[in-house]
Chains A and B, each alone.
Chain A
Amino acid sequence: MNLQKSLIQPCFEQLSRRLHKQYSLLNKTLTASFKILYSLPKNQNVGSDKIVEQMKKEIERLSKLQKDLNNYSKDDQLIIKKMQLRLQYHLSLLQVTQKNKTKNEEENENQEENKQEKDKDKEIKKENEIKEEKNMDKEKDKHIEIEKEKYMNIEENIDKEKKKENGNEKEKEKEKEQENEKDTKFFQDQIKLRKLELNRKLTEYMFRKGYNKTGTMLTERHQFLKQLVDQSLFLQGKKVSVSLSKHNLSIPLKWCLINRSKLKKIDSRFEFQLKKQQFIEIMRKGNRKEAINYARKNFPPWVGKCFSEIKSVMGLLAFPTPNEQSSIPNEEKEPFEILPERYQLLYGEHSWRKLNELFTREHVVLFGLSESPSIEVEFKAGICAVKTASCHSLHKKNQNNQQKITEHGTEKGKKMGKKKKNKKDSVLKGFDLFKEKKNINTNDNNDVVDRNTNCPTCHPIVNKIAKNYPRNLITHSLIICPLSGQIMTPDNPPMIFPNGNAYSLDEMKKMAEQNNGIVTDIKTNQKFKFTQLRKAFIV
């Protein structure tokens, strides 16, 4: 549902703005021309030639209006089509995620049945295997289709170019119909949809951060991207942000005027921030009178919301401006340095940067998009879902070891000094107690080091980001065999070695078959008999 908003609201905003323009144009011309037309018969003294002239003028005007409106509405229709396409895309994405949810639920139910009834287990297993094979075949077919379509797409593109050169309208219409059919088929293909979604997010990220060339390259490589990403929106925003970086306030103020009513709805203070900056610029030049007048005009409507900020800005009047000389004689410091820090900040680059950031945020929120790029939001949500405690243990373990050593050196002496009764017993007991106390002192980060190169959160860059986000709550045990990488199930339970290491039953069986009933613990290279292994039942 949220994606719907960010996809469709920009189109809606576009349409409504166009409607306003269109309507005002229409209103003006219609009222003006009809006025003249109604007044014609009343001017009896005017000659017939002039009347004819006027009528012809009105003909021209009205026909021009007709043309303009037609052109306008063609573009409007394109935008409405875009809206429909985006809605279709969104609905098909929803279907995909819902399908996956139902699949997972079915799988969970199957697992519960297995636990309860043993005889039916095997039957269900077989069915699942058959289902999985079918799915595998389907996926394989899809892969084959993808390969084929790669070549097909190249051919299609060549065909399209040829057709453009011909330029017949009927052919174009036919193409559009075919494309519509293709759209629906395309959107039903899960893998393609997923890829498209990822690419859409990437292009949005590019345009948001200002990497326009890469963004345009991406849109050229993939179908539908141009219609799914609002390139023009971000380019418009860039104009304003460029002028802000050049310390020019006229364009942003215009933008504020245009969007005033909508900014009010969001309860934004961007306009006030712009005026505050204008005040600062006037002060920088040294015109206190002008500054006071400006403040009198522009600040009162904002007193309710931003009074504290107004106060702090007006405080600038009390201090010398950067260009003025200090009134205190024999002052060694420059006038600017007398100012306390917060006032220096106001004069500096920092306030312009803040303005820029505020603008980029508000500009995007006006059109219904989220403040941060959607790829970042989903990526971090994914971190929260996938991250486990052992993802960080490698790094934190080293830290904790160091801490331990220092803690030992400082704390042990004090604690042990108190216990003097029985040397050996006290020492041992104290040591045990101290060990247990260690549990309380140190965090839960002394986790098992369980390395998996495929885990995305263990990737060094992702790890850095992931430190600031919580991990997922785990309510059920999940054990993965270090050899096969598969999740252990009640049918493939962990087999525990006498030294404590665990591997799955299937792997141990294989190993035993190949080595006359002897299994080796890979981690320690110790050898045991298969019969020495003990089955573990994980609830």
Chain B
Amino acid sequence: METLIEELKTTHQKTLQETDTQLSLTLESLESAVEFVSAMSEDEEMMFQILKEWESSLHQEKRDITIKKSQKDYHRVLSKVGKHLVSIPSNEIPFLTSKKLEKELMDQLIAEHLYRIGDFELGDQFLKESGSTIPEGFRGLMVKMHKILGQLYERDISSALNWVHQTLQIRDKDSVNEKEVKKNKNKKESKKGTEIKKGMEIKKEMEIKKEMEIKKKEEEIEIEIEMEMEIEKDKEEKEKEKNKIGKETNNTQQQQILKKTHSFEFRLHKAFYLNLLLNNELKEAINYSRKWFKQFASTHMKEIKQLAGCLVYSNGFAKRRFPELFNGSVWLQLHSEFREIYCLVAGIPSHSPLELLCQAGESAVSVLKKVSGLIPINTGDELPMEIPVDNNFKFHSSFICPVSKERSTQKNPPVLLKCGHVISKSSMKTLIEGGKTKFKCPYCPVITNSQIDCIEIKF
């Protein structure tokens, strides 16, 4: 393609030059003829002779035909380019064409993306023109984030520190509240349990009476009632699970947030301290470190030691000893870390989902195109082939049993064997078939006891 376009360029220039020269030559000859004719205006015979000669020379030179030829050359090359373009297959992937309700959603996503970049003017204009809206509060969140980021670019950590302290306070309060809420929940559950027990007792009395009367019906009713009890137990279990999972995720998130904000705060102080060192304000650096580094002694001792060591060097030797601390990379890390933490605390993704998915889609498009031509792709559950994807785009755990190649679910969880290998529960059941309790791991000859040694794993 490159060569074609180069050729196009050169032929275009050639034709341009050709036509230009030919036209100018004709014009010259015309003008000279005009001069002659006007000079010979009296003698008509001479005039016509000159004209005839001039006309025959024009015929011989055939300037108009050469012009047309050169234009046709250019046309030929251009049509070559056109044919090449037509031979490239079209871009369409049938099952990815747009559907009705997607327009508004796409507009919302794009607006979010524009706000994340920090271009609020553009985002507002876009929302005006498209007429869509985004969830409240998102814009405000992004405005705050960019304010703090702007200050960080100028190496000012005050607003970032404020934000950190605020979030830590809120999280502390939350954790206190959660403990109270947990206590209340336990009380409620115990109350429910007693109520259900009473109900069960009453029902049992009824059952006994009925049993005395009719035997066949008794059995059925018993079974029904027992099933109802079990339904209620099930309900309780599910609610507990919901609460558990909600608690679990909340717990892990809280822990993560606390840890990360803690270390982020440390890095803020570290960056400021290094700045002070850069400017040779040693006393102030020491005072600053005394004020702020105590709380991080348990978690970040190594780094503090290194930072303290920098004091020993004077007049720029610290830069040579620890180049990575003084070259500005500390601040760059801060920027990206701040983004991540801010978004984690707010509960939104740290990168624009539009950007991430478009990046992932770049390589996916070609694969999908190839396959959609061969196999019809259902928009149902799963693709028939795997799109190779970078590890950056993997956010969820998934376990594939090496024996059955099935994905594990809550109902078919992975199971840890004695030897440390992991297979899915269904494959384990097939190995136990026939009422066995012990079986060999498919990978190593270690024998596992299915009832004692196995643990179901929750990834």
Whether A368 touches B85, Cβ cut-off 8 Å, given contacts A381-B93, A536-B416, is yes
Q: Which of A252-260, A273-281, A288-296, A493-501 contacts B (4 or more CB under 8 A)?
A: A493-501
Q: Is the CB of B130 within 8 A of A63?
A: no
- The answer for the CA separation of A417 and B413 in the assembled complex, in Å, is 31
**Known interface pairs A4-B88, A381-B368; A38-B59 also in contact (CB < 8 Å):** yes
Q: In angstroms, how far is the closest chain A Cβ from the Cβ of B116? A: 12
Q: Please determine whether A381 and B364 come into contact, CB atoms closer than 8 angstroms.
A: yes
Whether B398 lies near A76 (C-beta < 8 A) is no
Residues of A near B349 (CB, < 8 A) are: 453-456, 458-459
Q: Which residues of A contact B59 (CB under 8 A)?
A: 38
Q: Would you list which residues of chain B between 414 and 435 have a CB under 8 Å from chain A?
A: 416, 419-422
Encoded as 1 (CB less than 8 Å from any B CB) or 0, chain A from 422 to 460 comes to 010011000100000011000010111111111111110
- Does A477 reach chain B (CB closer than 8 Å)? yes
Report the stretch among B31-39, B141-149, B194-202, B307-315 that lies at the interface.
B31-39
Q: Give every chain A residue within 8 A of B82 (Cβ-Cβ).
A: 12, 16
**A439 / chain B contacts, CB cutoff of 8 Å:** 411-412
The answer on a CB contact under 8 Å between A377 and B421 is no
Chain B CB within 8 A of A269 CB: no
For chain A, the count of residues having a C-beta within 8 Å of the partner chain is 162
Tell yes or no: A135 within 8 A of B by CB.
Answer: no
Across the two chains, which residue of chain B brings its CB closest to A451?
B249
Q: Which residues in window 192-227 of A have CB below 8 A to B?
A: 194, 198, 201-202, 205-206, 209-214, 217-218, 221
Cα–Cα distance between A438 and B106 once the two chains are bound (Å): 37
Whether A51 touches B51, Cβ cut-off 8 Å, given contacts A30-B67, A217-B125, A480-B396, is: yes
**Beyond A453-B343, A453-B347, is A51–B457 a contact (Cβ under 8 Å)?**
no
Bound-state CA distance A226–B82 (Å) is 23
Smallest Cβ-Cβ distance to B126: which chain A residue: A214
How distant is the Cα of A427 from the Cα of B228 in the complex, in angstroms?
12
Chain B, residues 71-93, CB within 8 Å of chain A (1/0): the string is: 10011001101100100111111
| A-B contacts, 10 listed (Cβ < 8 Å) | A41-B52, A147-B153, A198-B358, A205-B106, A382-B356, A404-B238, A423-B223, A472-B382, A522-B251, A536-B421
CB atoms of A461 and B105 under 8 A apart? yes
Best-surrounded residue of B5, B366, B385, B412 (most CB of chain A within 10 A)? B5
CB distance from B404 to the nearest CB of A (A): 13
Encode A454-491 as 1/0 by CB contact (under 8 A) with B.
Answer: 11111101101100111111111111101100010000
Which residues of B (390-413) have their CB < 8 Å from a CB of A? 390-391, 393-400, 402, 405, 407-413
Of A80-88, A230-238, A299-307, the segment with at least 4 beta carbons within 8 Å of chain B is: A80-88
Q: Which 5 A-B pairs have the closest CB atoms?
A: A382-B361, A382-B357, A456-B353, A455-B395, A378-B361
Contact A487:B389 (CB < 8 A) given known A26-B67, A380-B96: no
**Chain B residues near A77 (CB-CB < 8 A):** 9, 12-13
Q: Which of A455, A473, A514 contacts B386 (CB 8 A)?
A: A473
Chain B residues near A500 (CB-CB < 8 A): 455-458
The yes or no answer to A37 lying at the interface (CB within 8 A) is yes
Binary CB contact string for chain B from 315 to 340 against chain A (1 if under 8 A, 0 otherwise): 00000000000011100100000000
B459 close to A479 (CB less than 8 A)? yes
- Which single member of B38, B44, B410 contacts A52 (CB below 8 Å)? B38
**A529 CB within 8 Å of chain B:** no
Nearest neighbor of A431 in chain B, beta-carbon distance: B230
Contact A502 B231 (CB under 8 A): no
Q: Are B385 and A97 within 8 A (Cβ)? A: no
- B85-121 to A contact mask, C-beta < 8 Å, 1/0: 1001111110111110011011011101000000101
Interface residues of A in 54-91 (CB under 8 A from B): 55-56, 58-59, 62-63, 65-66, 69-70, 73, 76-77, 80, 83-84, 87, 91
Given known A-B contacts A455-B349, A462-B109, A447 and B409 have beta carbons under 8 A apart? yes
Interchain CB contact under 8 A, B381 and A471: yes
**Residue among B248, B383, B413 making CB contact with A473, cutoff 8 Å:** B383
Complex alpha-carbon distance, A250 and B99, angstroms: 30
Which one of A176-184, A315-323, A333-341, A388-396 is at the interface?
Answer: A388-396
Contacts of B38 in A (CB 8 A): 48, 52
User: Taking the nearest CB of chain A, how far is it from the CB of B34, in angstroms?
Assistant: 5
Do the beta carbons of B387 and A472 come within 8 Å of each other? Answer: yes
In the bound complex, CA of A41 to CA of B37 (Å): 11
Q: Smallest Cβ distance from A336 to chain B, in angstroms? A: 27
- Distance between Cα atoms of A408 and B363 in the complex (Å): 46
Could you tell me if A48 and B74 are in contact, using CB atoms closer than 8 angstroms? no
How far does the alpha carbon of A16 sit from the alpha carbon of B79 in the complex, in Å? Answer: 8
Closest CB of chain A to B256's CB: distance in Å? 7
Shortest distance from the beta carbon of B21 to any chain A beta carbon, whole Å: 10
B82 to chain A, nearest CB (A): 6
Chain B residues, CB < 8 A from A8: 1, 85
Q: Is B438 an interface residue (CB 8 A)?
A: no
Please give, as numbers and ranges, the residues of chain A lying within 8 Å of B108 by CB-CB distance. Answer: 461
Chain A residues within 8 Å of B47, by CB:
48, 51
* A523 CB-CB contact with B under 8 Å: yes
Which residues of chain A are near B276, meaning CB under 8 Å?
none
With A416-B227, A477-B398, A536-B420 as contacts: A5 and B357 at CB distance below 8 Å? no
What residues of chain B lie closer than 8 Å to A372, measured between beta carbons? 96-98
State the CA gap A78–B103 with chains docked (Å): 35
